[in-house]
Chains A and B, each alone.
Chain A
Amino acid sequence: MRNPRPYRQRDDAVEPLLTGQRILDTFFPLVKGGRAAVPGPFGAGKTMVQQQIARWADADIVIYVGCGERGNELVDILDSFPKLTDPNTGRSLMERTLLVANTSNMPVVAREASIYVGVTLAEYFRDQGYDVVMVADSTSRWAEALREVAGRLGQMPVEEGYPAYLASRLAAFYERAGRVKTLAGGSGSITLIGAVSPPGGDFSEPVTSHTKEIVKTFWALSKELADARHYPAVDWVESFSGYVASCSQWWAEHVDPRWAEYRAEALGILSQADELARIVNLVGPEALSPQQRWTLEGVALFKEGVLQQSALDPLDSYCSPQKQFALLDQMLAIYHAGVQLLALGVPVQELLRMPLLAQAQRLKGTYGNQQMQELAGFAAQANSEFERLRNEYAQHGKAAV
């Protein structure tokens, strides 16, 4: 059980693991057979993110290992999971789910073992040719179990009391993820998603920092975003994904070839947010140039219209890749149109007054995944509004001449 099950060979075909969460799929993608970590301080919505993944991920089997979390939290999960329904079949989600539960008050070796029990079960289903997602909540508690055992054995404590082999154990665990050709000749995969609970939200502690070196997708949850009611509270500055290049091909084939370009541009605009927000805090919005004020509006568009996603809204809880791209496209189109109009001399106040900005932010919850036509309709309507402004100001310009 502590040894991996055999397979024929590794398979490097790439297919993204679609979770229907915009911040995950579009901005920090994960592939089937990939390794991801979700570090987040207490109360940043770790469990919610993992439940959304368990619920919507396009995998055949989901294994949820509740490792060393508090009993009442696990009871929550044990209560809620059987009530969830699989969006694809409409039947109980439990039919494709397996729970391994170990609370923090259970004996420590059982907790250390639970991760291996989970991953062995995952390998068993992988060998049958299924795509398996295993969620381990949380690897920090597991590392604490290692520490407790090591302490009893009198092994040398290293960083923060963790044993010296912490990094290699973590690496060995994540190494069991992957997409393989099975012995029977089929193909199956294990995607490992480990939650990390850094004490005090400090990402430099040993478990988080070692995990960060091992995984290729890192969904950093932020307390500030969660406090600001920005859910899922995935921080777009701290997070990263090493699968962007490989996923861009899939997106180009199945959704739109401009995906990688748009994603990069949106992240570029978002990265200016912090700096601009600091200036606004110091001297107020009046000190910004019209272009900067428009950028700030663009940031709000992306945050509200794309990044934030309500798990409780039936239209928004799962977002198809097509809708994800359409929303991203729409926000960028509005942003670009605004930049053009500003160059023509349209006052920024005029732009900020436009009611379509607020409508665009609510698009995600207005139209469902099947209503792509209506989304396109909105895009046309927005275009004509901008066209009207453009004509108006072009004529002003002529009149002045």
Chain B
Amino acid sequence: MTDTANANCVVEVNGPLVTVLLPDLRTGEQVKIGRLELMGEVIARHGERALVQMYEPTESLRPGEPVTALGHPLTVELGPGLLGGIFDGVQRPLREHAKLHGDYIPRGVHIPPLDRSKLWRFEPAPGLKSGASVEAGAILGSVQETQAIAHRILVPPGVSGTLLEIIPVSEVNVEAVVARVQTVHGETQELKLYHR
């Protein structure tokens, strides 16, 4: 087998376990494999090769198919729209899949876990003004997600600094930027209703 001839490709397929040639992968990293863009997770590394455990069946996959590294480990989308939801083990929204594809999820389909089209009424936390210093875990504002539960929008872990801007009460979707924070390193971070 000529490993070096073709980098970033599948070398071996063994059930849900796929060996790929991609030198810079880290363990735990997410990858997309093949023309169907099946999702998987790197569970072991041997030299230039990485072992990928697939989240989806690997039938018809063959050596030589392309591999893309996504650069992040398995993450969960955290934001309004979670409550009442039904997800599978990698947070695929099962209701939306059922609506689009019926009882079985076809391979290589990606629907974001949180509904992007739904509008939420965001209310900034009282007293929070631009110029305030915020730390990870601080409450930016809230969204009344269901009658009983007010979903508090938090500054994600690892982000802290000066609040540059926060939007007033408004109807927004989860992708909208609700605040901008200048971190201690001088970068500007845009915060949305959801984070990973």
A306-B86 Cα distance, complex, nearest whole Å: 36
**Are B54 and A107 closer than 8 Å at their CB atoms?**
yes
User: B137 at interface (Cβ–Cβ under 8 A)?
Assistant: yes
Are A184 and B74 CB-contacts (below 8 A) given A95-B147, A96-B83? no
* A98 proximity list for chain B (CB < 8 A): 82-85, 87
User: B32 at interface (Cβ–Cβ under 8 A)?
Assistant: no
Are A183 and B137 CB-contacts (below 8 A) given A60-B149, A89-B147, A89-B148? yes
A-B contact count (CB 8 A): 133
Are A183 and B138 CB-contacts (below 8 A) given A2-B74, A152-B17? yes
User: In the complex, which residue of chain A has the Cβ closest to the Cβ of B51?
Assistant: A153
Are A6 and B136 CB-contacts (below 8 A) given A113-B74, A117-B76, A130-B149? yes
User: A86 at interface (Cβ–Cβ under 8 A)?
Assistant: yes
**Are B74 and A107 closer than 8 Å at their CB atoms?**
no
* B139 proximity list for chain A (CB < 8 A): 128, 184
- Which of A15-23, A119-127, A331-339, A380-388 makes up part of the contact surface? A119-127
* Distance of B193 from chain A, by nearest CB (Å): 13
> Among residues 77 to 124 in chain A, which have CB atoms less than 8 Å away from a CB atom of chain B?
78, 86, 89, 91-92, 94-102, 106-114, 116-117, 120-121, 124
**Are A107 and B56 closer than 8 Å at their CB atoms?**
yes
User: A197 at interface (Cβ–Cβ under 8 A)?
Assistant: no
User: B78 at interface (Cβ–Cβ under 8 A)?
Assistant: yes
* A166 proximity list for chain B (CB < 8 A): none
B15: contacting residue among A2, A152, A183, CB under 8 A: A152
A255-B90 Cα distance, complex, nearest whole Å: 44
B157: contacting residue among A6, A99, A106, A113, CB under 8 A: A6
**Are B73 and A1 closer than 8 Å at their CB atoms?**
yes
> Among residues 65 to 121 in chain B, which have CB atoms less than 8 Å away from a CB atom of chain A?
73-76, 78, 82-91, 94
A106-B56 Cα distance, complex, nearest whole Å: 8
Q: Enumerate 19 A-B pairs (CB-CB under 8 Å) in ascending A order.
A: A1-B73, A6-B157, A61-B149, A67-B89, A92-B84, A96-B83, A98-B87, A100-B91, A101-B86, A101-B88, A101-B94, A106-B89, A116-B74, A117-B89, A121-B78, A128-B151, A128-B152, A183-B137, A184-B154
User: A194 at interface (Cβ–Cβ under 8 A)?
Assistant: no
**Are A107 and B149 closer than 8 Å at their CB atoms?**
no
User: A5 at interface (Cβ–Cβ under 8 A)?
Assistant: yes
* A120 proximity list for chain B (CB < 8 A): 76, 78
User: A129 at interface (Cβ–Cβ under 8 A)?
Assistant: yes
- Return the CB mask of B153-173 against A: 1 if under 8 Å, else 0: 010010000000000000000
A7-B90 Cα distance, complex, nearest whole Å: 24
Main SS of chain A's interface residues? Answer: mixed
A102-B89 Cα distance, complex, nearest whole Å: 6
**Are A6 and B16 closer than 8 Å at their CB atoms?**
no
A75-B130 Cα distance, complex, nearest whole Å: 48
**Are A121 and B53 closer than 8 Å at their CB atoms?**
no
**Are B83 and A95 closer than 8 Å at their CB atoms?**
yes
Scoring A6, A109, A184 by chain B CB atoms within 10 A of each residue's CB, the highest score goes to A109
**Are A117 and B90 closer than 8 Å at their CB atoms?**
yes
* Distance of B146 from chain A, by nearest CB (Å): 4
A28-B84 Cα distance, complex, nearest whole Å: 30
User: B63 at interface (Cβ–Cβ under 8 A)?
Assistant: no
User: In the complex, which residue of chain B has the Cβ closest to the Cβ of A150?
Assistant: B43
* A140 proximity list for chain B (CB < 8 A): none
**Are B135 and A108 closer than 8 Å at their CB atoms?**
no
**Are A113 and B90 closer than 8 Å at their CB atoms?**
yes
User: In the complex, which residue of chain A has the Cβ closest to the Cβ of B40?
Assistant: A109
**Are A110 and B85 closer than 8 Å at their CB atoms?**
no
* Distance of B143 from chain A, by nearest CB (Å): 11
* B148 proximity list for chain A (CB < 8 A): 60, 86, 89, 91, 95-96
A159-B15 Cα distance, complex, nearest whole Å: 25
A97-B41 Cα distance, complex, nearest whole Å: 28
User: B7 at interface (Cβ–Cβ under 8 A)?
Assistant: no
User: In the complex, which residue of chain A has the Cβ closest to the Cβ of B38?
Assistant: A107
**Are A111 and B89 closer than 8 Å at their CB atoms?**
yes
* B90 proximity list for chain A (CB < 8 A): 110, 113-114, 117
* B84 proximity list for chain A (CB < 8 A): 92, 94-95, 97-98
User: A182 at interface (Cβ–Cβ under 8 A)?
Assistant: yes
**Are A110 and B89 closer than 8 Å at their CB atoms?**
yes
A117: contacting residue among B15, B41, B54, B91, CB under 8 A: B91
**Are A149 and B89 closer than 8 Å at their CB atoms?**
no
* B51 proximity list for chain A (CB < 8 A): 153
A153: contacting residue among B44, B86, B151, CB under 8 A: B44
Are A121 and B149 CB-contacts (below 8 A) given A95-B84, A100-B87, A110-B88? no
User: B28 at interface (Cβ–Cβ under 8 A)?
Assistant: yes
* A129 proximity list for chain B (CB < 8 A): 152
* A107 proximity list for chain B (CB < 8 A): 16, 54-57
A1: contacting residue among B74, B86, B154, CB under 8 A: B74
> Among residues 121 to 164 in chain A, which have CB atoms less than 8 Å away from a CB atom of chain B?
121, 124, 127-130, 149, 152-153
Are A96 and B146 CB-contacts (below 8 A) given A6-B136, A78-B86, A110-B89? yes
